[in-house]
């Protein structure tokens, strides 16, 4: 066969390719395709459950104008989450929108309070985000497939989700071993923060004097020691403030991290197979512990 015999097939293939891209481009720019997710939370200070956050993601190459956002509970209840009537929200192509909400005092319909906790707690009740757009009502049916290592933890308890603990900006970065922070104020308005560690009595932290073990015994002892050095002229400053770094970490993070351990390397085989076996054993053990507690609670009743 000559090259001329293949020309019709080549032309047909090019036509199909052009049609494919034309249809793909039309679908990309026509209609709307929005995925979403929401989180229902509760508060110790509020009786009613509430939507604490939502996320919308536009998967089309065209903008969507949103006037209101609702959560539809069941088939007939619509909880209003956002109202953009005066300034419509424009969700641009491939853009996402996230909003967070606080607890509610109560829900109201036609000047009457309505309680939704039973519906919001029920797994049988279907819930969807519903948008009021410039093209009418749009029901968000697709869920955003988010991933978090916490999800993997329930399948394999060897999974560790690690959170970096960072200090507040005004404090500075001195590491987790710092014991005290000495804030020194000079006459010219200069402020200097000196980190002091538990073994600093072995080093010359300051130019004209050394710290003692007794001075590092408490925040008050260190402050008194530094004030004495300032009075004798060995420390040039007009004001001294000593901060207990241990207490500061407790205030920032909720508690002090006294215990620590070194991370070990585990191979993929150990993590997948042995981790799964350990998880099964842990779940069985937890099941019997919970059953024991339930029996104990029934006896107390």
pLDDT < 70 positions in the chain: 1-12, 15-16, 18-31, 168-172, 255-258, 300-301
> Strand pairing partners for 34?
58
Query: Could you tell me the sign of the dihedral formed by the alpha carbons of 272, 277, 278, 284, in that order?
Result: positive
50 touches 68 (CB < 8 A) = no
The per-residue pLDDT for 30 is 54
Position 23 scores a pLDDT of 61
pLDDT on residue 165: 74
**Per-residue confidence (pLDDT) for residue 72, from 0 to 100:** 95
Query: In this predicted structure, what is the pLDDT of residue 251?
Result: 76
Residue 240's nearest CA partner among 253, 257, 228, 254 is 228
User: What is residue 182's predicted lDDT score, i.e. its pLDDT?
Assistant: 86
pLDDT tens for 10-53 read 666 776 676 666 666 555 555 689 999 999 998 877 889 999 99
Looking at domain 34-143, does it have CATH number 2.30.30?
no
pLDDT for 232 equals: 85
How many angstroms separate the CA atoms of 283 and 223, rounded? Answer: 52
Q: DSSP assignment, residue 188?
A: T
CA 73/CA 80 separation, integer angstroms: 11
Q: What is the pLDDT of residue 205?
A: 79
Give the start-to-end residue ranges of the domains of the chain: 34-143, 150-162+262-300, 178-253
Which pLDDT does position 257 carry in this prediction?
Answer: 67
∠ CA 150-155-156, rounded to 5°: 85
């Amino acid at each position: 066969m000559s090259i001329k015999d293949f020309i019709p097939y080549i032309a047909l293939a090019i036509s199909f390719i052009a049609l494919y891209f034309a249809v793909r481009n039309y679908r990309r720019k026509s209609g709307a395709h929005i995925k979403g997710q929401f989180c229902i939370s509760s508060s110790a200070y509020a009786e009613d459950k509430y939507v604490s956050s939502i996320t919308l993601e536009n998967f089309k190459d065209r903008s969507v104008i949103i006037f209101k956002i609702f959560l539809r509970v069941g088939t007939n209840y619509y909880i209003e989450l956002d109202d953009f009537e005066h300034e419509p929200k424009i969700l641009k192509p491939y853009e996402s929108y996230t909003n967070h909400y606080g607890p509610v005092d109560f829900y109201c319909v036609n000047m009457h309070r309505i309680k939704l906790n039973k519906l919001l707690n029920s797994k049988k009740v279907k819930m969807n985000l519903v948008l009021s757009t410039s093209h009418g009502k749009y029901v968000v049916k697709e869920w955003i497939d988010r991933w978090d290592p916490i999800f993997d933890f329930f399948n394999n308890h060897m999974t560790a989700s690690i959170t970096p603990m960072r200090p507040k900006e005004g404090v500075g970065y001195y590491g987790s071993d710092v014991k005290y922070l000495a804030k020194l104020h000079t006459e010219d308005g200069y402020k200097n923060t000196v980190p002091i560690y538990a073994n600093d009595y072995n080093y010359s932290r300051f130019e004209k004097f050394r710290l003692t073990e007794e001075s590092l015994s408490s925040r008050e002892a260190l402050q008194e020691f530094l004030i004495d050095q300032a009075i004798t002229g060995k420390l040039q400053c007009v004001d001294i403030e000593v901060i207990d770094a241990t207490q500061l970490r407790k205030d920032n993070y909720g508690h002090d991290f006294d215990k620590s351990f070194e991370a070990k390397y585990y191979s993929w085989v150990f993590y997948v197979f042995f981790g799964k076996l350990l998880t099964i054993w842990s779940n069985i053990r937890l099941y019997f512990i919970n059953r024991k507690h339930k029996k104990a609670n029934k006896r107390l009743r």
